[in-house]
Structure 1
Amino acid sequence: MTKKVKSAKHVSEFESIFKCPMCEASMKVFELKSFICSNNHTFDFTKQGYLNLTTHPMKTKYSKDLFKARRKLIAEDTFFEPLIQAFAEMIKRQADIKRESLFILDTECGEGSHLANICDKVGSDFENTVTGVGIDISKEGILAAAKNYTNQIWTVADLANTPFKDKRFDVILNILSPSNYAEFNRLLRADGFVIKVVPRSGYLKEIREALFDKSAKQDYSNIDTIDRFNENLPIVDRLRVQYTRELNNLSMQSLVQMTPLTWIANEKRIKSFLERDSVEITVNLEILIGGKIS
């Protein structure tokens, strides 16, 4: 079975969660080739096994090389393993694991490693189905996700106009990425919740100190972000995740490749940082769980 056919079969089982991004009509899988709404707006499944449900071209700075580096760091080097474990434990604590199924949406999912790992860990404690859906505006990210993880649904989609019907998701993941609280509230089921990850002041401090002079780039405050989250999705649980990992030079290159911090850094400083054989890197994050506003 090709990835295209496998993806079409998988999506056909969950057609009811989708709506057309152009007219909001219901959608159906047609001949395991296309996804068509009742008004005949048509979106084809790609040979790699994903759907592009955007209505216009989307520009992004995220490249194929960035997602390759991200996958190496997350999937191969397990750089974020404590974070993934914390995610799984918080979902198990908040969700009713007796329900027949759990739908998890990862917004700005990138190359899919976080969602795939979380679904695997949470799925082991659910008697029935855990369905993961990942969206991102980057076609390169979704292509990489579909290539490496065939058990989830991957869609190029705009967070400002998600192709899903109201109240379809139990959990929405928002990991180190922008939020759209109006969409989050629309998409969540009545007892659903959003898990947002924001960096704390010590996050990747070794890179900040190496690449920037004393400036705002060396320091970070998430107070405004947390306040805005709490205003839109009242916080019901929170957890700080802090640890350090020693990275060899190859993993350091992956980290430098994937972090937007290097986009505005001096090339000489980046080169100097990468001349080290290894480095101890701090991960310092805050996980917030917010409940839907009634």
Structure 2
Amino acid sequence: MGKLSKRAASIIYMKEYESLFSCPLCKEKMHVSEDGQITCGNLHTFNIAKQGYVNFMIKPSNSMYSKSLFESRQEVINSGLYNPLQQKIAKSIGPHVKTVLDTGCGEGSHLERIGNLLEHEVVGVGIDISKEGIQAAAKFYEHKIWCVGDLANSPYQEQSFDCILNILSPANYEEFSRLLKPGGMVIKVVPQSGYLKEIRKQAFANSEKESYRNDGTVNRFKEHFANVKQERITYTVPLNTDLVPKLLEMTPLGWHIEKNVSFSNITIDLDVLIGENTK
């Protein structure tokens, strides 16, 4: 028997974990059929695409991120630039964690690499508003559930996840609390003052944007979650010449400068916030 198609494999995997799904329109439980339809009791239906993902968007999105951007993002992440961050997150995910949701997952490289670092199997689920990002995730990474969706109308049951990842992406803390199991954890990654400072200096020289503070973001996180741990990860590493334009494309900071600049080194400076859901 030949290898299953992406769609067939995804149908089997999503059917196994169909209890995670909730209709983004009416919040009813959903059933995954053998022909790849995900349907609720009110007959709202979403189809698993041939690439192996499902689009749960109920209205058009205005994502400014292109297919090319996600290709660049994947190459940069898979170069190992964020290895220390991924190692820290994997170490923070204890053996009790069985389900992980990556919000704003993009093309899925962080979730894939973090999952590969764990010593136990988890159900990895990624959601992003960008169809291009999720298509790329489904293309390259198997044995995950990839969803195009909006956290304002998320397609998941309440109390479904042990851990939520939110890596350099906007957050929806009310939805995080709804989706997390009691005592579940949120791991949020936010820039610190030196993050990509080589690009920031080029983009915003002599302006107030040249410096950056994350105090407001950190304080809001602490208002929503308990027992918050905050750890800073900072390092400067050489950057291969061919990765410079790709890094400039993947980060909004890079959209403000000429593409022909070069950097011999790049600084990663991030805060990892880990909080507990008490609701």
TM-score category (smaller protein)? over 0.9
1:288 aligns with 2:273: yes
Q: How does 1:114-263 map to 2 (within 5 A)?
A: 114-122=110-118, 124=119, 126=120, 129-263=121-255
Residue aligned with 1:282, SS: strand
CA distance 1:4–1:272, shift in 2 (3 Å): closer
Q: 1:15 aligns with which of 15, 18, 24?
A: 18
1:72 aligns with 2:75: yes
Runs (4 or more) in structure 1 with deviation over 3 Å come to: none
Shift of 1:33: 2.0
The equivalent position to 1:55 in structure 2, one of 47, 54, 58, is 58
Partner of 1:6: 9
RMSD: 1.2
Q: 1:103 to 1:197 in 2, by over 3 A?
A: same
Give the match's secondary structure for 1:46: coil
TM-score of the superposed pair, with normalisation by structure 1 = 0.91
Cα pair 1:27 1:36 within 8 Å, conserved = yes
Q: Give 1:31 shift.
A: 2.5
**Could you tell me which residue of structure 2 aligns to residue 87 of structure 1?**
89
- 1:67-123 CA-partner distances (Å, limit 9, x unpaired): 000000011x1110110001111123xxxx2x4x6100000000000001111212x
* Partners of 1:239 and 1:288 within 8 A in 2: yes
Partner of 1:103: 99
Contact conserved, 1:119 with 1:131, CA < 8 A, in 2? no
Superposed displacement of residue 206, structure 1: 0.4
Percent identity over paired residues: 47
Q: Name the structure 2 match of 1:31.
A: 34
On the 8 A contact 2:57/2:149 being kept in 1, the answer is yes
Aligned counterparts of 2:68 and 2:260: Cα–Cα separation in 1? 21
Q: Deviation at 1:272?
A: 4.5
8 Å CA contact retained: 2:183, 2:278: no
Does the CA contact (< 8 Å) of 1:107 and 1:173 recur in 2? yes
**Does the alignment pair 1:279 with 2:264?**
yes
SS in 2 for 1:217: helix
Normalised by the size of structure 2, how large is the TM-score? 0.96
Q: Could you say if the C-alpha distance between residues 254 and 194 of structure 1 is closer, same or farther in structure 2, counting changes exceeding 3 Å?
A: same
Q: Cα offset for 1:30?
A: 1.6
Deviates more, 1:57-66 or 1:209-218: 209-218
Q: Which runs of 5+ in 1 are unaligned?
A: none
Where 1:59 maps in the other structure, the secondary structure is coil
- CA–CA distance in structure 2, aligned partners of residues 176 and 216 of structure 1: 21
Q: How many angstroms apart in 1 are the aligned matches of 2:236 and 2:10? A: 38
Aligned mates of 2:228, 2:26 — CA distance in 1 = 35
Matched, 1:112 2:108: yes
Alpha-carbon offset, residue 209 of structure 1? 0.8
Gaps of 5+ in 2: none
Residue 214 of structure 1 aligns to a residue whose secondary structure is coil
Which residue pairs with 2:49 in the alignment? 46
Q: In the TM superposition, what whole-angstrom CA distance separates every residue of 1:207-254 from its partner, at most 9, and x where no partner exists?
A: 111222211321110001000000011243221111112112211111
The one-letter code sitting in structure 2 at the alignment partner of 1:88 is A
Residue 41 of structure 2 aligns with an amino acid whose one-letter code is S
The 2-side partners of 1:29 and 1:90 are apart by 32
Q: Summarize deviations over 1:2-35 as a string: whole Å, max 9, x none.
A: 1011111100000111111111111111223211
Residue 47 of structure 1, CA deviation: 0.7
